[in-house]
Amino acid sequence: MGKPDLGIMSRREVIGVGAAAAAALAAIKPVHAEITERKKRVGPNDKIVLGLIGCGGMGAVDMRNLMRKPDVEVAALCDVDDNRIPNDARDVEEKYNRKPTIYKDFRKMLERKDINAVIIGTPDHWHALPLIMACEAGMDAYCEKPISHDITEAKAMDAAVKHFKRIVQVGTWQRSTQEFTDAISYIRSGKLGKIILARAWKTDPFQVGKSQFVDPPKNLDYDMWNGPAALLPYSANHVHSNWRWFLNYGSGMTGDWGVHMMDICLLGMSKDTDLVMPTEVTSYGGKLAYPTDDRTAPDTVQSIMKFKDPDFLMHWETGRDYPGKPDHGSEFVSAEGKTLRVWRGGMKILDPGGEEIEKYRGEGTSDHWQNWIDCVKTREQPRSNLASMAQTTIVCHLINSSVLAGETVRFDKEKMDIVGRAGKNTQSYHREYRKPWKLPIYKV
């Protein structure tokens, strides 16, 4: 069975604890003795006090990467599932010799006056509200990708971050790794020539099987896990990690891996992190490989996007097989037929026949998590800043909008919106929030 995007570290074992252990954990009082009111701005020699919202998955990987930094301290953990917390709590206690405060409701964590910033490692349907509420609370954030469930949320998040002047790094860590930064600098240098086509792909071998609707387990606050998404009956194959294959919560492979791979195409074709955006998106897709599986996200997608100034096409594909290529990647094709291919772990420059014609090594790379820490202190924009990642995320949602609508979707970058009606009636564009949740919209 294939794997979803699990990031750079292998997925942790999900540990189980009994109700007593979970209750004991929940009752732990903060031993965060030197709690002080946070300063308006973290000084160069100050520690950044962090809270993690959404344990046990990629948010915990981010937390461990940040725990390696001497000027970071993790003070609090939050999850709606008691069973997801103990591994992370143990590591935090071992590192800082104090127990983190445990929360089940992130809004309580956001009331803390000593916490400077939060990591948002919740599923995609639960990024927008914690991020916007963190901005309202004066906190910075490291938010996982894709930034949102839909286009409306992405715009609301972008507006809130700008309104409250917060520093937000998004978890597209490939923007900080050697092969991808090399690919982008090579393309921007013009050495490959005029680019006529950018391509990105990822195999999708993932099936969730048949849903079994039962009562949610006692350790999980399922209502809070569902949050603003439409409430579906509980089934184990809808929640942890599997949610990405249900469009009620995630955006399938297009949002899960497309956001990484197309991000590289868009960055390479842009001058800086303000990205080129397509004017037209035509996509087809469906559950063609696994028609009887209960996932709702398409397992097969073909999308063509048209860009103006510079004029080029972009192709996104998710399917079953890519003979001779890695199972994921990004490519740039020149007018002369040369190709630059890049994937996690390598980059090649090829002639039209597929022969490697050049080796290239650029300026090197830096640490994605350190880049965020530095920017929290300097107030500069991080490499995967939220405004830029809102753009890549919106491209993913435009593709799904086109698949769902069965029509070409047109986009206006100035308005950051779909032009006309095609695509607007899809859940990738907008969904009604389940009461009592509301999406705040701030003026920039």
Ligand X SMILES: NC(=O)c1ccc[n+]([C@@H]2O[C@H](COP(=O)([O-])OP(=O)(O)OC[C@H]3O[C@@H](n4cnc5c(N)ncnc54)[C@H](O)[C@@H]3O)[C@@H](O)[C@H]2O)c1
Q: Which residues bind ligand X (CB under 6 A)?
A: 5-7, 53-58, 78-81, 84, 106, 121-124, 126, 144-145, 171, 173, 224-225, 227, 240-241, 256
Determine if the peptide bond prior to 310 is cis (ω within 30°): yes
Q: Which is nearer to ligand X, 42 or 156 (by Cβ)?
A: 156
Q: Which is nearer to ligand X, 257 or 411 (by Cβ)?
A: 257
Q: In angstroms, rounded to a whole number, what is the distance separating the alpha carbons of residues 281 and 26?
A: 48
Q: How many residues does the structure list for the chain?
A: 444
Q: Which is nearer to ligand X, 4 or 285 (by Cβ)?
A: 4
Least separation in angstroms between CB 244 and ligand X: 6
Least separation in angstroms between CB 109 and ligand X: 9
Least separation in angstroms between CB 123 and ligand X: 5
Least separation in angstroms between CB 146 and ligand X: 6
Q: Which is nearer to ligand X, 152 or 334 (by Cβ)?
A: 152
Least separation in angstroms between CB 364 and ligand X: 21
Amino acid 254 reads: T
Q: Which is nearer to ligand X, 171 or 252 (by Cβ)?
A: 171
Least separation in angstroms between CB 90 and ligand X: 16
Q: Which is nearer to ligand X, 217 or 310 (by Cβ)?
A: 217
Least separation in angstroms between CB 437 and ligand X: 10
**If you search the block for the tokens 């491209």, which residue do you land on?**
395
150: tokens are: 């839909």
Residue 17: how many other CB atoms lie within 10 Å? 17
> Closest residue (Cβ) to ligand X?
57
The CA–CA distances, whole Å, from 135 to 116, 139, 153, 180, 433 equal 11, 5, 14, 30, 20
Least separation in angstroms between CB 237 and ligand X: 12
Contacts 24+ apart (CB under 8 A), 27-36: 28/89, 28/99, 28/100, 28/101, 28/102, 29/101, 30/75, 30/76, 30/99, 30/100, 30/101, 31/98, 31/99, 32/75, 32/98, 32/101, 32/114, 33/98, 35/113, 35/114, 36/114
Q: Which is nearer to ligand X, 7 or 138 (by Cβ)?
A: 7
Least separation in angstroms between CB 258 and ligand X: 11
Cα of 340 vs its chain's centroid, Å: 25
Q: Which is nearer to ligand X, 80 or 403 (by Cβ)?
A: 80
Residue 142: how many other CB atoms lie within 10 Å? 28
Q: Which is nearer to ligand X, 126 or 307 (by Cβ)?
A: 126
